[in-house]
Every structure is written in structure tokens, then in C-alpha cells.
């Protein structure tokens, strides 16, 4: 029965994960005309004048996104878990989850209106910040924060629910013992709940990191909507798209994909080790 449950996932993983990754790895070290190219494709894309700006954009976005996600999701989950009225807790969880029901492209289209001071329901706040037009709001310097806010709005609610479930798995005996000993809600959160959430926070960090390095839909739609104010090679994924479909250089695109894969695996390993994701209770 276990094999029957796992087999469909394994088939999909091989078809859409392992095989494409192996194929990209082969392309990255092959010459366009065939044969082994060594690291020529890697050095070529790294030397591209668009590479370092794209790395910087994605890095700043990831730092903001992961900080927002880690801190605010945990705080929101703790607050929802502290609500004792059942219908209020359920309503809050539904409210958090609803934005995640929107597809990425739909969410960005919604945010196109939110970011336009002339059409946004919070236009008065944008104008108070000195932003009088849509092009001013989406200047490249502030885009990492904009993309992080969009990502948080669409994805945080689902993680709040996951963390809420993890909090429900903490034995009630431990919580009651802490209250009897006089621990305040803040002390319980810091000394009991957060340490027991460590694995779940690490798990969230790994998946958020994997999603964040693939930044593509948001800058692509903003690039089209802004008539070029946002460049079409803003992120590494966009740059790989330019290599593959505008230049016809699939080897260069594969080299960029391999670089992203290696960096993502390395950072994910840090999350796994520091978060103790695979530690057992006996250890």
C-alpha cells in the first residue's frame, strides 16, 4: 500500500524533476554544435553584464522575503493559536488562506492596480510617500520589497495554517505545566513553542527559498505593464528565458539553471542542518 501511494509522486518527480535536471546538466556542459564544452557555458553566462545585477536583485528579494515570512508567519500563527474562540480562529485562518487561492499571475495583475496611485484603494498612502505615478512605484530600486510583499501576501497564509497545525501538535501537558509554573504567554512562545516549531520553520525556509530563486512571473508581468521600466532580464530566470527563447542559446540557459540549482541546494542544506529537519526524537 505504501508503494501504491508513493509511486505516482515518484513518476512525476522523475518526469518533471530529475530528468529535466539531468538534461539541463548535460546541456550546460555541452557545446551548441555538440561535444563536451567544459565550463565554457558557465563562464560565459557569469561574464554576461546582466548576470550580476540579476543575482543582486534575486538576493535582495530573497533576504526580504525570507525575513518577512519567517518572522511574521510565526507571529501570526502564534496569535491565531492563542485565540480561544473557535469561530474567530477559523475565520482568521480562512482570511489568511484566501490570497493563496489566487494564481501567481492573477495576484500580480491585482497588485498592478494596488501599485497605481491613481487606481489603488491605498493611493493616498502611495501619494503620501511621494509616489504620484505607476512608473515611480515600480522603479527597479524598490522592486525587491514590492515582490517580497506580493509573495508574502499570496503565500504566507498557507504557512500560517501549517504552523497552526504544528502548534496544535504540541502536547497540552507541556503547555499546562508551563502555565502552572507561572510562565507568561511570551515565555511559553519563546521557550516552548518556538523551539518545537524549529523543524517546521526550516521546512518552510527550504520551500520558500526554492520558490524565491525562481522569481519570474512578477517581474515579467511588471515589465510588460510598465513598457520597459522594469527590464525583461531583471531576475536570473528571466535572463535564462532570454538566452533560450530570444537568443536560441539553450546551453547558456541550462548553465544558468544549473547555477541556480547548485546555489539552491547549498542554501537548502544549510536550512536543513541548522533546523534539524531530519533529526529524530531519540537523537
pLDDT by residue, tens only, the chain of 283 residues? 889 999 999 999 999 989 999 999 999 999 988 888 889 999 999 999 999 999 999 999 999 999 999 899 999 999 888 887 888 888 888 888 777 666 566 777 788 888 888 888 888 888 888 888 888 888 878 889 888 888 888 888 888 888 998 998 888 888 889 888 888 888 988 889 998 898 899 889 888 888 888 889 888 888 888 777 788 899 999 999 999 999 999 999 999 999 998 988 898 888 888 877 777 655 4
Domains of the chain (ranges; CATH) run: 19-275 (1.10.3720.10)
Digit-coded pLDDT (tens) for 237-252: 999 999 999 999 999 9
pTM of this structure: 0.85
Digit-coded pLDDT (tens) for 98-108: 776 665 667 77
Share above pLDDT 70 across residues of the chain, in percent, rounded to a whole number: 96
Digit-coded pLDDT (tens) for 129-152: 888 888 888 887 888 988 888 888
Residue 248's closest CA among 27, 92, 26? Answer: 27
Residues 93 and 271 sit within 8 Å (Cβ to Cβ): no
Distance CA 271, CA 202 (A): 6
H helix runs in the chain, sequence order: 2-13, 19-28, 40-46, 51-82, 86-97, 104-114, 123-128, 134-137, 143-168, 172-180, 185-188, 194-196, 198-212, 217-225, 236-241, 250-275
Share above pLDDT 90 across residues of the chain, in percent, rounded to a whole number: 31
Residues 57 and 237 sit within 8 Å (Cβ to Cβ): no
The pLDDT value recorded for residue 283 is 43
Average pLDDT of the chain is 87
Amino acid at each position: 500500500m505504501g508503494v501504491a501511494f508513493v509511486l505516482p509522486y515518484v513518476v512525476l518527480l522523475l518526469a518533471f524533476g530529475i530528468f529535466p535536471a539531468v538534461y539541463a546538466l548535460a546541456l550546460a556542459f555541452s557545446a551548441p554544435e555538440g561535444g563536451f564544452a567544459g565550463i565554457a557555458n558557465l563562464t560565459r553566462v557569469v561574464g554576461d553584464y546582466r548576470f550580476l545585477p540579476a543575482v543582486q536583485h534575486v538576493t535582495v528579494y530573497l533576504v526580504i522575503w525570507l525575513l518577512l515570512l519567517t518572522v511574521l508567519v510565526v507571529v501570526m500563527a502564534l496569535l491565531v493559536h492563542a485565540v480561544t474562540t473557535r469561530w474567530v480562529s477559523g475565520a482568521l485562518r480562512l482570511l489568511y488562506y484566501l490570497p493563496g487561492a489566487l494564481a501567481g499571475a492573477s495576484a500580480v495583475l491585482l497588485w498592478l492596480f494596488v501599485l497605481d496611485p491613481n487606481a489603488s484603494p491605498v493611493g493616498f498612502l502611495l501619494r503620501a510617500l511621494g509616489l504620484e505615478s505607476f512608473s515611480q512605484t515600480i522603479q527597479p530600486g524598490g522592486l525587491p520589497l514590492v515582490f517580497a510583499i506580493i509573495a508574502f501576501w499570496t503565500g504566507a497564509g498557507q504557512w500560517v495554517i501549517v504552523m497552526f497545525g504544528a502548534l496544535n501538535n504540541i502536547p497540552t501537558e507541556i503547555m499546562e505545566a508551563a502555565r502552572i509554573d507561572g510562565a507568561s504567554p511570551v515565555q511559553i512562545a519563546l521557550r516552548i513553542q518556538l523551539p518545537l516549531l524549529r523543524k517546521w520553520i526550516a521546512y518552510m525556509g527550504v520551500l520558500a527559498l526554492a520558490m524565491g530563486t525562481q522569481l519570474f512571473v512578477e517581474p515579467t508581468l511588471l515589465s510588460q505593464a510598465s513598457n520597459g521600466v522594469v527590464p525583461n532580464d531583471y531576475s536570473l530566470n528571466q535572463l535564462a528565458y532570454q538566452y533560450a527563447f530570444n537568443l536560441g542559446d539553450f546551453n547558456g540557459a541550462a548553465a544558468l539553471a544549473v547555477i541556480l540549482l547548485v546555489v539552491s541546494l547549498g542554501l537548502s542544506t544549510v536550512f536543513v542542518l541548522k533546523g534539524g529537519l531530519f533529526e529524530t526524537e531519540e537523537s
